[in-house]
């Protein structure tokens, strides 16, 4: 099954770029995801990348996938105070009768003004 | 319009009690899930249902019994609550079991067992 690990905490200044890293174990994961959780709220899907891609860009978000090293990163350009949240990396564990998301422990992003 | 809703938002109860958390989605999705997020924010799937049928049961104690009366609802009943059950429980739904289907999460239910 899939196992996902992330760095636990990142602090940046407003306007800087943030890079959140994640490693996964299951090379057969078809999709890899980034979710955002704001305080007291549910999870919001930010972006995802298909395993045959190396990079995906969506406005201020850039996802890089290194399949050889099983490493996924999320870069947030021009980080704003509203980006302060917990960011979860997730891999899709394919099972015989269904698929399940396996989440990393989450990275707390703190943006200082 | 709320896509995935859960009630209650907060639940405080004594050890040994039985409680239920309700989840409803108005997205017309076939698949629904329950996740548990512990105090360290670690998020793990508990169950998934597709068309009212149990698909995934992640070695959750049998004190936890999900019930899906229809495709739009997946309720979670917990018997004999224990201190370790204290967590935030998230319901989610997706179109179906397809690999590329986004999961939409509810706002969570914070359960505190005293």
Q: pLDDT tens digit string along A44-99?
A: 999 999 888 899 999 999 999 998 899 999 999 999 999 999 999 998 877 776 77
Task: Give the residue-averaged pLDDT of A12-23.
Answer: 96
A12 has which bridge partners? A111
Cβ contact B106–A101 (<8 Å): no
Task: Report whether pLDDT(A100) > 90.
Answer: no
Q: Residue B10: pLDDT band by 50, 70, 90 thresholds?
A: very high
Question: Can you give the pLDDT at residue A74?
Answer: 97
Which are the contacts of A101, defined by CB distance < 8 A and separation ≥ 6?
A33, A90, A91, A92, A93, B45, B103
Check: CB of residue A14 under 8 Å from CB of residue A80.
yes
Task: Give the residue-averaged pLDDT of B9-33.
Answer: 96
In this complex, the residue of B41, B56, B100 whose CB is nearest that of residue A98 is B56
Min Cα–Cα distance to chain A from B43, Å: 6
Question: Residue A95, Cβ neighbours under 10 Å: how many?
Answer: 13
Cβ contact B42–A41 (<8 Å): no
Question: Can you give the pLDDT at residue B59?
Answer: 76
Question: Tokens 């200044």 label which residue?
Answer: A13
* B58 and A CB contact within 8 Å: yes
Question: Can you give the pLDDT at residue B99?
Answer: 67
Question: Tokens 């998301």 label which residue?
Answer: A101
Q: Which one of B2, B33, B39, B41 makes the best mutation probe of the A interface by having the most chain A beta carbons within 10 Å? A: B41
Cβ contact B105–A44 (<8 Å): yes
B111 has which bridge partners? B11, B87
How large is the C-alpha radius of gyration of chain A? 14
In this complex, the residue of A40, A44, A103 whose CB is nearest that of residue B43 is A103
| CA dihedral of residues B68, B71, B73, B75 (deg, nearest 10) | 20
Q: pLDDT tens digit string along B22-31?
A: 999 999 999 9
Taking any CB pair shorter than 8 Å as contact, residues of chain A touching chain B are 30-31, 37, 40-45, 48, 50, 86, 88, 92, 94-95, 97-103, 105-106
Question: Can you give the pLDDT at residue A91?
Answer: 87
In this complex, the residue of B41, B56, B90 whose CB is nearest that of residue A100 is B56
Lowest mean pLDDT across A89-103, B19-33, B52-66, B96-110: A89-103
Cβ contact A106–B41 (<8 Å): yes
Mean pLDDT estimate for chain B: 91
Q: Residue B36: pLDDT band by 50, 70, 90 thresholds?
A: very high
Task: Give the residue-averaged pLDDT of B26-54.
Answer: 90
Task: Report whether pLDDT(B39) > 90.
Answer: no
């Amino acid at each position: 099954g899939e196992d996902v690990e992330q760095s636990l905490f990142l602090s940046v200044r407003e306007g800087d770029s943030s890079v959140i890293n994640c490693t996964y174990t299951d090379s057969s994961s078809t999709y890899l995801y980034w979710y955002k959780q704001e305080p007291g709220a549910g999870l919001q899907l930010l972006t995802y990348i298909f395993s045959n891609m190396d990079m995906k860009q969506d406005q201020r978000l850039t996802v890089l996938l290194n399949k050889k090293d099983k490493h996924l990163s999320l870069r947030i350009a021009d980080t704003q105070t509203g980006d302060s949240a917990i960011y979860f990396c997730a891999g899709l564990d394919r099972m015989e009768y269904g698929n399940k998301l396996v989440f990393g422990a989450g990275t707390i992003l703190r943006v200082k003004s | 319009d709320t896509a995935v809703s859960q009630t209650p938002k907060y639940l405080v109860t004594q050890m040994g009690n039985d409680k239920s958390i309700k989840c409803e989605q108005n997205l017309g999705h076939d698949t629904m899930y329950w996740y548990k997020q512990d105090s360290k924010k670690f998020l793990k799937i508990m169950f998934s249902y597709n068309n009212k049928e149990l698909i995934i049961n992640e070695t959750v104690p049998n004190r936890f019994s999900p019930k899906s009366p229809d495709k739009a609802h997946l309720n979670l009943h917990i018997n004999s609550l224990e201190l370790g059950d204290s967590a935030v429980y998230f319901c989610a739904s997706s179109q179906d079991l397809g690999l590329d289907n986004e999961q939409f999460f509810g706002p969570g239910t914070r359960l505190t067992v005293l």
